[in-house]
Structure formats: structure tokens, C-alpha cells
């Protein structure tokens, strides 16, 4: 526990923590403000109007905010984790810990636990900023805020937000493993971006049988575990591909596997002072 708390104190003072938070907040906030400002466009297609209504009308706007927290927070979180965990190698903090007799695996797991706590704070902060931005967007679009204080919706939102945090942590563990294997910030970030782009683009060119595999990859499964029903598009409601509870199991498996790989890579690495 001491290592975890020490890691939290260390991370909260890093400029990367503040920069990553500001980027995620800006991306989410801009999305809702722009939607609110363009809501009254007379050229807007009917299916797009349904999406905009979903984003700006509470309580469904809570789901929209969580969706964007996951999309932007997940990617920014992965890059953030790669950036801060990469310094364990470049700054020599890992070698110092090992020289003092600390277990490599214990240090790796404690460091990620510290990152997970920082990510929790980030998810909550970005969500709060997103709700304010959604309310501002609704005001720009002259939409009511009647559902903002819906009690049952707030309870469900809290549960979905907790799942969103698990999803972001699960994604970030993949980035953490990439850096610990590569022992380099840039290599880890490059692997993350390549994996993200590949996960999004590859299914467009692959046979259907192979596409089935992609729904079990981190970006897909972690998004499904939140259990958000999207807006109607073409007369159909956008739903998770995997059952949310099964997606949670898949995401936790990715999390455990990624941390095991990170610990194993660190145990086998040659660490010099």
C-alpha cells in the first residue's frame, strides 16, 4: 500500500497528468458545445438529429457523456500511461527501487495501481466537465434540462461510470504492458496508436469469420462492458455487441494478462543502475 500511495503522490505532480486531463476535458467539452451550437441546422439529416437529441437531452445525455469519456479518455489514458510508465526506464526509478531490494513484480503492479487511482480521478473530472458541457450544449440548442436530476437515471449513471473506469483501466493496462516490454516511451506509444488504428481499420478489409475476433479485442470488449444503448440509427438502436457482463469478464482477462506480461517482462529485463 505504501508503494501505491507513493506512486499516487508522484504521479499527481507530473505535468503529464495535468496535460492529459486537460486534453481529455477539452475533447469531450468541445464535442457537446459544437453539437449544441449546430443543433438547429436546417440541413441536418433525420438520423443525425436523433443522435444530437440523445447527446443533449437528459438523462440520455449522461450516457453520451460516458461514451465520450470512454472514447477520448481511453485513448488519452493509454498514451498517458505509456508516457509516465516509460519514465520508469528512462529516469531510472525502477533500477533504484530494485537496487533497494524491492520486488520487480510488486513494484510494477503497485505502479499500475497508482495509475488506476489517477485514472479514476481523471474519469470523474472529465465526466463532470462533460455533463457541464452537455448542459451548455442543451442551452445553446434551447432544449430543456428536465431529466438532469432524474434519481433512477443518476443511479444507473453511477454504475455505468464505474464500469467506464474499469474499461479505461483495462485499456490502459495494454499500453502499460507495451511500454514495459519495449522499455521505451515512444515505442510503447507507437504500439498503442498502431493497435488502435489497426483495431478500427482492419475489420473493414477482413472476412466476416475473422472480424468476429475483433469484438474480443480490448477496444471493443471494454466499450461493450459499459452497457450503453446508443441512439437510434436507421430505425435500429445501437447496442453493445457483447453482453456487458461477459464483456466485463473479457476486459478483466485482458487486464490480468497485460499486467502479467508487464511483470514478466520486467523480471526478465536487464536492469542496470
Check: CB of residue 192 under 8 Å from CB of residue 78: yes
Residue 88 within a domain: yes
Q: How far apart are CA 10 and CA 4, in angstroms?
A: 10
Of 50-59, 150-159, 245-254, highest mean pLDDT? 245-254
Q: Is residue 218 part of a domain?
A: yes
Q: What is the pLDDT of residue 30?
A: 92
Please, what is the average pLDDT of the chain?
82
Specify if 273 maps to a domain: no
Full domain range(s) for residue 55: 2-268
Q: Structure pTM?
A: 0.87
Q: What is the pLDDT of residue 122?
A: 92
Distance CA 16, CA 81 (A): 9
pLDDT at residue 270, rounded to an integer: 67
**Which backbone phi and psi does 150 adopt, to 5 degrees?**
-65, 115
Cell representation of residue 165: 473506469
pLDDT digits (tens, 9 = 90+) for 43-82: 666 556 778 888 888 989 999 999 999 988 888 888 888 8
What lies within 8 Å, CB to CB, of 184 at 6+ separation is: 86, 89, 90
Q: What is the DSSP letter of 242?
A: S
Number of domains in the chain: 1
Q: Which helix (H) or strand (E) holds 96?
A: helix 93-99
Residue 251 counted as domain residue: yes
Amino acid at each position: 500500500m505504501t508503494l501505491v500511495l507513493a506512486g499516487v503522490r508522484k504521479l499527481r505532480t507530473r505535468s503529464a497528468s495535468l496535460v492529459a486531463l486537460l486534453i481529455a476535458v477539452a475533447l469531450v467539452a468541445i464535442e457537446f458545445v459544437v453539437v449544441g451550437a449546430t443543433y438547429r441546422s436546417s440541413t441536418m439529416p433525420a438520423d443525425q438529429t436523433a443522435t444530437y437529441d440523445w447527446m443533449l437531452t437528459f438523462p440520455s445525455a449522461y450516457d453520451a457523456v460516458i461514451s465520450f469519456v470512454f472514447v477520448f479518455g481511453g485513448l488519452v489514458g493509454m498514451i498517458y500511461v505509456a508516457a509516465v510508465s516509460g519514465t520508469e526506464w528512462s529516469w531510472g526509478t525502477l533500477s533504484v527501487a530494485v537496487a533497494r531490494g524491492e520486488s520487480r513484480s510488486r513494484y510494477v503492479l503497485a505502479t499500475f495501481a497508482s495509475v488506476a487511482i489517477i485514472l479514476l480521478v481523471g474519469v470523474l473530472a472529465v465526466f463532470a466537465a462533460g455533463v457541464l458541457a452537455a448542459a451548455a450544449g442543451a442551452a445553446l440548442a434551447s432544449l430543456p434540462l428536465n431529466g438532469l436530476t432524474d434519481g433512477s437515471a443518476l443511479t444507473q449513471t453511477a454504475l455505468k461510470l464505474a464500469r467506464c473506469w474499469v474499461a479505461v483501466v483495462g485499456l490502459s493496462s495494454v499500453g502499460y504492458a507495451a511500454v514495459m516490454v519495449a522499455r521505451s516511451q515512444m515505442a510503447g506509444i507507437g504500439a498503442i496508436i498502431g493497435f488502435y488504428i489497426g483495431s478500427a481499420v482492419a475489420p473493414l478489409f477482413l472476412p466476416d469469420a475473422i472480424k468476429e475476433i475483433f469484438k474480443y479485442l480490448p477496444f471493443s470488449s471494454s466499450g461493450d462492458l459499459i452497457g450503453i444503448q446508443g441512439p437510434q440509427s436507421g430505425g435500429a438502436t445501437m447496442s453493445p455487441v457483447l453482453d456487458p457482463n461477459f464483456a466485463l469478464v473479457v476486459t478483466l482477462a485482458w487486464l490480468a494478462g497485460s499486467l502479467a506480461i508487464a511483470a514478466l517482462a520486467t523480471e526478465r529485463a536487464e536492469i542496470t543502475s
